[in-house]
Amino acid sequence: MTHLTDVGSATLGSVGEPASGSDGSIYIDQLAKTYERPKQDSVQALLPVDLSITSGEFVSLVGPSGCGKTTLLMMIGGLLDATQGEVSVAGEPARAAHPAVSIAFQKSTLLRWRTVMDNVLLPAQIAGTLNAQTKQYARDLLEMIGLSQFENRYPHELSGGMQQRAAIVRSLIMKPSVLLMDEPFAALDEFTREMLNDELLRIWQEKSTTIVFVTHHIPEAVYLADRVAVMAARPGRLLEMVDVDLPRPRNEDMRQSPRFNELVGRIRAVLQPEVNGAAE
């Protein structure tokens, strides 16, 4: 897949390529999860799901609370064992700390006693790969996301949106070929969320990173993705994959376009019977 490069964004050149190779493919085969609970009924969090995600694709997972979005994401990230089925990432069975995979959570989880730069460099420090090139890469990414003035500041000196930006840079520092994002912008106001949507797309368009992005927010899911996985709850399951045929690069005007609204409406229509059913 070819990503168009937005005008005006910083160019990272060769340092923008994922270090772990270009394979960011994800194959999910009959993957299911039931949580067993002592002295209580088990919870069927996810019925068997089949899904293939190609390298460099942007897929949003959208659906109501409890439909298994985080469960699915954590199984892709190897942080949770499946009850059934298989998931492979970059051609290997999913596992925790896979070098090709990075995960970004809703809360930025920056360490408050480290500066922005030291937070961003932490994964490389832990992996023992920190060198001058990594530091330069961190500077390039911080510049790209508008944080270069803040590299020596501490998290409490930044707004929520800026902290989330720093966390995104940290999640990119190891040049993952797969980035898993669990509602990274949910705690932000609408304006900041939309701005970060554009920044995330700009970074994604410069790289060949596969992104799986969990959100409750249907317009956000559509704006960002190549495909939207629409999920339902009780039990958690995948209802439909919706292709987003809006051109790239995406821009603000598209949020008002008839096609955008049509896609948002279509996803709402898929989910509506589920929501009504749950309310009965």
Binding site for ligand ATP (CB under 6 A): 35, 37, 43, 45, 63, 65-71, 216, 236
Q: Which CB, 121 or 233, lies closer to ligand ATP?
A: 233
Q: How far is the CB of 66 from ligand ATP (least distance, A)?
A: 4
Q: Which CB, 69 or 250, lies closer to ligand ATP?
A: 69
Which H/E stretch holds residue 243? strand 237-243
Q: Which CB, 145 or 231, lies closer to ligand ATP?
A: 231
Q: How far is the CB of 84 from ligand ATP (least distance, A)?
A: 15
Q: How far is the CB of 74 from ligand ATP (least distance, A)?
A: 8
Q: How far is the CB of 235 from ligand ATP (least distance, A)?
A: 8
Cα 188 to the center of its chain, rounded Å: 16
13 CB-contact burial (10 Å; exposed 0-12 / middle 13-18 / buried 19+)? exposed
Q: Which CB, 70 or 205, lies closer to ligand ATP?
A: 70
Q: How far is the CB of 127 from ligand ATP (least distance, A)?
A: 28
DSSP 41-92: --EEEEEEEEEEE-TT-EEEEE-STTSSHHHHHHHHTTSS--SEEEEEETTE
Q: Which CB, 43 or 246, lies closer to ligand ATP?
A: 43
Q: How far is the CB of 238 from ligand ATP (least distance, A)?
A: 12
> Quick check: 115 and 152 in contact, CB under 8 A?
yes
- How many other C-beta atoms are found inside a 10 Å radius of the C-beta of residue 42? 10
> If we measure between CA atoms, which residue out of 56, 263, 48, 278 comes closest to residue 178?
56
**182 has which bridge partners?**
214
Q: What is the C-alpha to C-alpha distance for residues 142 and 206, in angstroms, rounded to an integer?
A: 14
Q: What is the C-alpha to C-alpha distance for residues 280 and 275, in angstroms, rounded to an integer?
A: 9
Q: How far is the CB of 186 from ligand ATP (least distance, A)?
A: 9
The helix/strand/coil state of 212 is strand
Q: What is the C-alpha to C-alpha distance for residues 44 and 32, in angstroms, rounded to an integer?
A: 8
Q: Which CB, 60 or 134, lies closer to ligand ATP?
A: 60
Q: Which CB, 79 or 122, lies closer to ligand ATP?
A: 79
